[in-house]
Amino acid sequence: MMYDENKIIPMIIIFVALVTFPLWYNLGKAAPKPDPKIDTPVIQALQNKQCIEPKAAMKTTHMKILDEWRNDVVRGDYSRQMTTADGRVFEKSLQNGCMKCHSNKTKFCDQCHNYMEVKPFCWDCHIAPKETN
């Protein structure tokens, strides 16, 4: 008998596990599930902590809303305000609309975008909110 089969197999398994450790160790760590935070001063002060549309709709359509707002403002009817079905009025603006409430860009927008590897180019021109810490 050249080698002890009872030992070689477990040793190969341990060796493979050690060599590939950085790969599977990082699987869980590199991409923590996004956890968008809504604890901003403006949202805290809201009586009803709602977005302009219900949360589920915002999740999937916020980019379309922004696109429509931009089109209205820049080359549409030039209207700068919108009224929701329940009568709340918002400015059609990235900075003065969305980011007034979501002033924590890194802890909100970036949470999902980094996870999904989406990189909106908006901040090349639009000013991101100033954030502390």
Which residues contribute to the site for ligand HEC (CB under 6 A)? 34, 36, 38, 43, 49-52, 55, 58-59, 62-63, 65-66, 69-70, 73-74, 90, 92-98, 100-102, 108-109, 112-113, 116, 118, 120-122, 124-126
> CA 121, 125, 130: angle at the middle one, nearest 5?
95
CB of 130 to ligand HEC, least distance (A): 15
CB of 2 to ligand HEC, least distance (A): 56
Of 2 and 45, which has the nearer Cβ to ligand HEC? 45
Q: b or e along 83-99 (b: 16 or more beta carbons within 10 Å of the residue's beta carbon)?
A: eeeeeeebebbbeebbb
CA dist 65 and 69 (Å) reads 6
Of 19 and 56, which has the nearer Cβ to ligand HEC? 56
Unique residue bearing structure tokens 């003065």? 96
